[in-house]
Amino acid sequence: MTDNIPADHPRAQSLQLRERLIVHFREKIVAVSGLIAHGRGEAFDYLLGEKTSKPALKAISASAAMLLTAENAVISINGNTAALVAAEIVKLAKITGSKIEVNLFYRSHEREIAIEKLLKKAGASEVFGIGKKASAKIPELSSERRRVDPQGILVADVVMVPLEDGDRTEALVKMGKKVIAVDLNPLSRTAQEATITIVDNIVRSAPILVETAEKLKKQGLKKCKEILQGYDNKKNLANSIIAIEENLSKLATQTAHTSGEGK
Ligand code: ATP
Ligand code: MG
């Protein structure tokens, strides 16, 4: 699927991700707005230097601890998440005992089924939120995202919402749920409203999250609780913004050193 992108192209990885989203758009898994959302994420990833920052690692560790200590955790899946990290999400759900629920801004039965199929191919045994199963409603939301599974998100204490938008995050928090978000934009309402915010590209953070959850599970619940007690999301979010600032300062210095070269 990425035959037309030369491996030595300086932006090969980024182009391959675009290609993957386009392929999944054609398969009706990704919505057209998902392509735009990815572009917004890419811009922030550039500012971050396309690497996982220390604050992101801290948020990943807290997220693994929160999923492992939850009574009833659900990982909410949209088109982009399914296209980019289906296999990692399935692994994460298995390790942490979380459910997987499909939740779409632009819900259609065709898309639900396509995403369910992809998740099952990636090894998911059960997928919540498909068809009539998504019969409950989140208060305060008007779109199709309002619909949730009464056995999934509706009764969850912890909901992980990779690549989610602000309204839905806010509504889930108002329902008393703890929300874990993955969002490259530390300024978005999602990033600001979530209980734990991982400011990183989902393709980099998902495998680290799987590995961290595996390790923490062996260390036990006491260790998880300690991590959560020492975690302050607002402070960590501020440090994620500082990580962008530091990267930009470094780039500004490098650019200044080349001053005059292009004359
Ligand atoms: P909000 O409604 O929370 O203020 P928004 O309107 O920017 O934010 P959307 O456009 O609905 O949110 O969702 C896209 C969000 O997902 C963007 O903030 C973008 O940074 C983020 N995003 C897109 N692709 C990725 C990715 N691969 N990894 C992490 N985050 C991503
Ligand atoms: Mg939005």
Q: How far is the CA of 123 from the centre of ligand 2 (A)?
A: 30
Burial of residue 72, with CB atoms counted within 10 A of its CB: 0-12 exposed, 13-18 middle, 19 or more buried: middle
Q: Report the C-alpha gap between 174 and 153 in whole angstroms.
A: 13
Rounded distance from Cα 6 to ligand 2 centre (Å): 34
108: number of Cβ within 10 Å: 12
**Paired tokens of 7:** 């491996």
Rounded to a whole number, what is the largest CA-CA distance in the chain? Answer: 65
Neighbours of ion ligand 2 (CB under 5 A): 165-166
Is the torsion defined by CA of 191, 57, 90, 110 positive or negative?
positive
Mean per-residue pLDDT over the chain, rounded: 94
- Closest ligand 1 atom to residue 169 Cα is 3
DSSP 63-111: HHHHHHH-SSEEEEE-HHHHHHHHHHHHHHHHHHT-EEEE--SS--HHH
Q: What is the pLDDT of residues 80-112, one digit of tens each?
A: 999 999 999 999 999 999 999 999 988 889 999
Q: What digits encode the pLDDT tens for the residues 21-60?
A: 999 999 999 999 999 999 999 999 999 999 999 999 999 9
Reply yes or no on whether the pLDDT at 64 is more than 60.
yes
Point out the ligand 1 atom lying closest to the alpha carbon of residue 193.
3
- Under the banding of pLDDT at 50, 70 and 90, the label for residue 138 is confident
Output the pTM of the full model: 0.95
For residues 93 and 100, is the Cβ–Cβ distance under 8 A?
yes
Closest residue to atom 28 of ligand 1, CA basis: 201
